[in-house]
Amino acid sequence: MKEKTLRALRETSEEYLSGEGLSNLLGVSRTAVWKAVQSLREEGYDIISQARRGYRLNKIPDLLLPAEIRWGLGTRWLGHQIHYHDTLSSTNILAKELARQGAAEGTLVVTEEQKEGRGRRGRTWYSPRGEGVLFSFILRPALQPTHAPQLTFMAAVAVAETLRREYDLPAGIKWPNDIYIGDRKVAGILTELSAEVDGINFVAMGIGVNVNTRLDSFSPSLRARVTSLLQEKGHPIARVLLLQRLLYSLEREYTALSQEGFAPLRRRWLELDLVLGKKVRIIAPERSFTGRAVNVDEYGALLVQEQEGKGGMRRVLAGDVSLR
């Protein structure tokens, strides 16, 4: 009812929609209309009511509300089920919980603020309240767990290409899961999976983008290494529209990966890559070393040529890369 009332207010060509008109249109009592309007106001919608004229939608709140995300969302299945919470521990924690309870592929979790936002390997991911786009979604791919890194590649391509195409930003990918503009991180991806040895139960994929974040919101130690769309474009960015574009792009890339396999995706990933050909320092769980990044293989591993000719080609599945 709430969402129908909102749609009617949006779609009207009149300046005001009368209570009676709304009541007829939706087939409910005027009291029910009034309750729906109150409820929308509580969510942050600015709805003006004037005696004898009716209701007018004056201002939509700058929140990632489900009704806003669905309005004009071009996906076929991604983000049709939405779980929105003003604050969450992290979107991936909730997404995993929902997936365990059987939530469908494409289920979306969105929040304004994470209390325990995390990046890879338990690192903190900080995003000031209401300034980022923080979301997770559930996938149930027919992939072997060993191929799960392909999903991180898929998401990285979707995010980087959306920033390039829709926002004209020179976004690139730093292996394995970060999106950079120049030498500053603008977005990150966290891929978590529940699996048996030979099959994935579900994947919870979390994405965080610094959107309307002022650099001084970050701690001094981060400030030189991060950026945001606000910072790069010089003006605030509509977060809902960005999220819709990301979802559209993610759905398309995921479908392509399912149908065409990893090879075409890998080629596009290579065009966006910021690491290959460069001298890198690998800080890995087993051992750290320096070398030249030369390729990625079909499992998403980074192939690094060790410099001193001692170890030859090394295959890096986990670890951090720093450019030298």
Q: What is the Cα–Cα distance from 212 to 130, expressed in whole angstroms? A: 8
Q: Min. distance of Cβ 141 from a second copy in angstroms?
A: 12
Contact code string over 277-296 relative to a second copy, x by CB under 8 A:
--------x-----------
Q: From the list 19, 132, 149, 208, which residue makes contact with a second copy (rule: CB under 8 A)?
A: 149
Binding residues with a second copy: total (CB under 8 A): 30
Residue 317 sits in the site that holds a second copy (CB under 8 A): yes
Q: What DSSP assignment string belongs to 214-258?
A: -GGGS-HHHHTTB--HHHHHSS---HHHHHHHHHHHHHHHHHHHH
Contact status: 144 vs a second copy (CB under 8 A): yes
Q: Return the residue of 27, 101, 196, 324 that touches a second copy, per CB under 8 A.
A: 196
**Phi, psi (rounded to 5 degrees) for 15:** -70, -45
What is the DSSP-derived secondary structure letter of residue 118? B
Residue 300 contacts a second copy per CB under 8 A: yes
Two tokens, residue 239: 């977060």
Q: Is 124 in the site for a second copy (CB under 8 A)?
A: no
- The C-alpha atoms of residue 159 and residue 128 are separated, in whole angstroms, by 20
Instruction: In whole angstroms, give the CA distance from residue 14 to residue 2.
Output: 20
Alpha helices in the chain (DSSP H): 2-11, 19-26, 30-43, 66-70, 91-100, 149-167, 220-223, 229-233, 239-260, 262-272
Binders of a second copy among 50-69, rule CB under 8 A? Answer: none
Give the residue, chosen from 112, 192, 251, 253, that forms a contact with a second copy under the rule CB under 8 A: 192
Q: Is 199 in the site for a second copy (CB under 8 A)?
A: yes
For residue 145, state whether it binds a second copy (rule: CB under 8 A).
Answer: yes
299 binds a second copy (CB under 8 A): yes
Interacting residues with a second copy (CB under 8 A)? 96, 120-121, 142, 144-146, 148-149, 151-152, 176-177, 190-199, 201, 285, 299-300, 317-319
